[in-house]
Each structure stands twice: as structure tokens, then as C-alpha cells.
Amino acid sequence: MSLTLVNQVFDLIKLNNKLIAIESPLQERIRLLKNITSECFSQNIPCYLWTLEDDALHQLVINEQDLALQPVSQYQALPKSRREHYFEILRFWKTTELEGILILEGIFPWLGESTTDPDFFLTAEWIESALINLKLYNRNSNKTAILLGPNANLSSEIAPLIPTVIQQLPTVEEISAYLTLMLPSYTETEINNVANAAVGMYLADVEYGIKLALASGLGNTQELTKKLRAYKIDLFKRVYNIEFLQPPTISVGGLELMQQAFQQYKRLLTPLAKAYNLRLPKGILLIGPPGTGKSYSAKACSARLGLPLIVVEWGSFRSYGNLAEYQLKKLLALVDRINRVILYLDDFDKGFAGDDDLSRRLAGMLLTWMQERTSEVLILASVNRLDWLPPELTRSGRFDDIFKVDLPNYGERHSIFKIHLARFDKRFRGGDAFTESEWRRLLKATHRCVGAEIQALVERAAISTFCQMFSDDIPPLDELPPLLITLSALLEARQNINPLAIREADRIESMRNKADLQGLPSSPIDSSIYSVGNVDIFG
């Protein structure tokens, strides 16, 4: 919460720190400035604000519980004939007779790591030099400069000189305390329910999400919680580029050994496991060819453990360029604050295909977080090619469990078919419409098909059946005949699908062979009646 952050800042000021960096999100800016100004007022300290946008100096004051800005005539902006003229405020604060706290917005982009742009480099060097001189020149004065921005990225040269305070996401207790003021008519139980739905958002986001929900009209707390959670999911998508999914209700065809491991993970989340100092694995790798169900397994894990699922494309961090580490830091802070959640890193290996410095830095950040975190976060990562990962990521203590997610066997394909057929044909909802010999024919025809291809095959057969049943005339919806998918429709759909494991046989077999050496099996030996080993060739 910003009040805690303000206390940290003023503690640093008491220790005679003349330069302080604050990392705070934009949406919390007004609240933070008000709290700093209020504390300055209580201590009789003048407080000023300068922003790069208008290059003007204002004194901050609290006017009837609101923040007001009063122009400071002593500072006059220079004509911008040189780049450093945009930062004349640094030279002014060094020599002016004004004292107090100066908040500077918009300087952090010049204080990060080095750049190859000579003009940008010279400006950055000038700013760093000006800040160092400011710290030395004002060491015996009552002046403090605070650098403020959403990304307090400081180069290794200047970082030791500037202590950094980071505004963390509020805890559920802090959100509850804020909601008690915002929703005075709600009971303690109702406040706790809304606060739990809001975890992962800053107070400004919580406030906006609640106002948005209330404006649409609500009947009860359950509706508010539901709408606030929907707003949070949309916010996470826009801010973090992730999917935030509540535990789904799904059926899984096969992968029994992996499902048993998920059940063990659930037991490790209990207070009893904590009493014995037992913990979740640091991370779990799911390796195998594309389409074999790695992403579906992550959703199955979410359903089995009853934990929300955060899905992120690991390779997407590369698209952020210089901001990649900042985006990863924000995401890991979010995951830590939510705490009991599954973090699923999809296509984890693709983020290391370039084998460049950025990949290594991101891997280093992830490793450090995995080693030091105390939150109960289960990390799943899907990989097609394990050899693309840096060796330090795959040693024991990093990703403890590695599961091979292989092409489904006959029994698993039978289960997958029934799951997808049940979506369209009610005969498969708890029952069966095919004979054993029909199933054997279908399963033989779909040898080397993965789960995603079986799903596509069933959907094609359902569409074909639907189009044959009805012409352009639409019958009454209360008199619809059942959709009955036949074996011939499925076999015809199979003719239009060329499985990846056949189309790219060499590449897929290479992946499977390497996964065999590195991963634990996700499925036991096929013991179903459809197993190839159970076929009576003399019958």
C-alpha cells in the first residue's frame, strides 16, 4: 500500500539519502503523490513536482482533501537547443535556495543500461553526472530528489548511489481495509470475498473495477465478485499479456500417471505437509511432440488442484525488447502476490531458440525467482525440444519433475474420442454407440493421431453430419432430432487429416526418443481391451 511505501521513503530521507528512486505504477500516481504531500505537510517540508512533459516546477499542496499544484516562479525552462536543456531542473535544484523534496518524473528511461545510440548515450551520461553532482552538492542541505516512474531501471554504475523503493501489489488484508471504506454497508464476510477476487490488482484498479460493476447495477455481493473477477481477467490480458483462468471442469483421456502426480501436489499444499517441511516441486516440465496434450494437462492440473491457471507464452517476452526483464519482473510479482496459483509457461523452449544474451538474462531472472520465492506457486512449462533449454534450467532443484507427454495409445485415443463425441452426440454421454469391432477399426485408422487431431476429426464429422441432416430450412428448435455421428463420418473425416506424426515423422520421432531419455512416463502401459497386445490375431 502507498502509505507503507511513503514510510519507507521518509525513513531513507532520515538517513540523509539525497537521491531516492520510487517504482510505482501510473494508476497509483495520484494516490502516492497525495500521501507524500500529506506526510510532507505533517513534517512542515515543502514538496515539489517536475515532469518531463511540460518542464515546469509546481509545489504540491493538499486543498480540501484533494491534490493541488501551485506554479513555482523561481524555475524557468530553457529553450531546447540541446538535449540536456530538457533536464535543466537538475542544475536548478543543485543551486536553488529552495529546500524540501523534489519529485522528478520521466528520467528513468535515461538511467538504464548502456545504448548504442551516441546521442542518447551522451544525454544519459550527462543526466547521471548531474545526479551524482546533485547528491554531492546537497549532502549538507535539506534537499531530497525523488525519481518517480513505473520502471525504476538503474544502470549498474548509478544503482549503488540511489536506493530504490518498489510499490508492491497490495495484500488481501490491505485490499480488505480499503474496501471497508469504499463499501461501508458490506459485512466482513462480503468484504473478504470481494478482496479475494481483487488480489493481483492495485487499489486504483480495484476501485475502478468496483465502480464499473456498480454502475451496471448489482443484486448481491456474488454478482459484484463475478464482475470484478471478469474485469481482473481482462486487465491481466491487457497489462501482462496473459490468460488468467479459474479452475475448469474438464475430462482427461489418459495420462493417469501424471494425474496421480497432480494429486500428490494437491496433498503437498495442505497444512499437514507444511508441518513436515514438505513443499511443492520447484517446477514441472512437460515434454513431447506438439498436440499431445501439454496445454490440456496444465488445465487438468488446475482442475485437480483447484487452483487458478496463469497461461503465458514464454517466447512473447522477447517481443518486449529492452522491457522484457521489466515485464517478467512484473509478472513474477503478480504471481507471488496471488500466491496459490499455477504458472504455465507455454512453448518454454521457443524463448531460448535464439541462444542470445536476452534469453540468458530472462532465464537467470526466472531461476533466481524459483530459488528464492516463498509463495506456493506451481510452475508448469511445456517443451517440444528439451535440448534448446540452458542446462542450468533442467538440473535437479530447478524443474524437479519431467514428464513425457507422448502420442496417445489405443486406450487413450478411445477415451479422447468419447470425450469429444459426447459434446455433440448424447449417446456417448455415459454410454457408447459403437461396437468393439467398430472401435478397433476407428482406433487403427487413427494410429499416430494426437489429441488435438482427434478433436478436429470429431468436429469435422459433426459438421458433416449436421449438414446432411438439414437443408436451408430451419426446423423448430424444440423439435430437433439428435445428432448421431457414425463411424463412416469419422473415417471420412480421417481421410482429410494428415497427422503431424506421419507428415513430420523424422522430426516427431526425434522428439519422442529424446523425451524417452529425459522424462518420466505420463501414462501406464495400455491395459485396455483395445491395446494392440490384446488383439487375438487368430480370432
Q: How confident is the model at residue 316 (pLDDT cuts 50, 70, 90)?
A: confident
**What do you get for the CA distance between the two ends of the chain, in Å?**
74
Which three cell numbers, joined as nine digits, stand for 537? 490375431
Please state which of the ranges 112-116, 202-206, 302-306, 323-327 shows the lowest mean pLDDT. Answer: 112-116
Quick one: the chain helix, strand, coil %, rounded to 5?
Answer: 55, 15, 35
DSSP string, 337-352: HH-SEEEEEETGGGGG
Q: What are the tens digits of pLDDT across the range 464-503?
A: 999 988 877 777 777 788 999 999 999 999 999 999 999 9
Q: What are phi and psi of 104, to 5 degrees?
A: -110, 120
Q: What is the chain's mean pLDDT, rounded?
A: 89
Q: Spell out the residues 6+ positions from residue 185 whose beta carbon is closer than 8 angstroms to its own.
A: none
Of 166, 184, 214, the domain-final residue: 166
106: left (phi over 0), alpha (psi -120 to 50) or beta: left
250 belongs to a structural domain: no
Res. 535: pLDDT tops 60: no
Res. 30: pLDDT tops 90: yes
Based on the fold, state whether residues 490 and 519 are members of the same structural domain: yes
245 belongs to a structural domain: no
Which three cell numbers, joined as nine digits, stand for 232? 481482473
Q: Where are the alpha helices (DSSP H) in 479-526?
A: 487-495, 500-503, 505-518
Based on the fold, state whether residues 145 and 85 are members of the same structural domain: yes
Range of the domain at 23: 2-166
Q: Which residue in 142, 46, 147, 70 sits closest to 104, CA to CA?
A: 147
How distant is the alpha carbon of residue 349 from its chain centre? 17
151 belongs to a structural domain: yes
- High-pLDDT (> 70) share of the chain, %: 97
Average pLDDT of the residues in 258-281: 90
Give the span between the Cα atoms of 244 and 247, in whole angstroms: 10
Sign of torsion, CA 292 297 299 304? positive
Please report the pLDDT score of residue 24 as a whole number: 95
251 belongs to a structural domain: no
344 belongs to a structural domain: yes
Give the span between the Cα atoms of 456 and 110, in whole angstroms: 51
Grid cell 426446423 in the structure block, residue: 475
Query: For the chain, how many structural domains are there in total?
Result: 4
DSSP state of 60: E
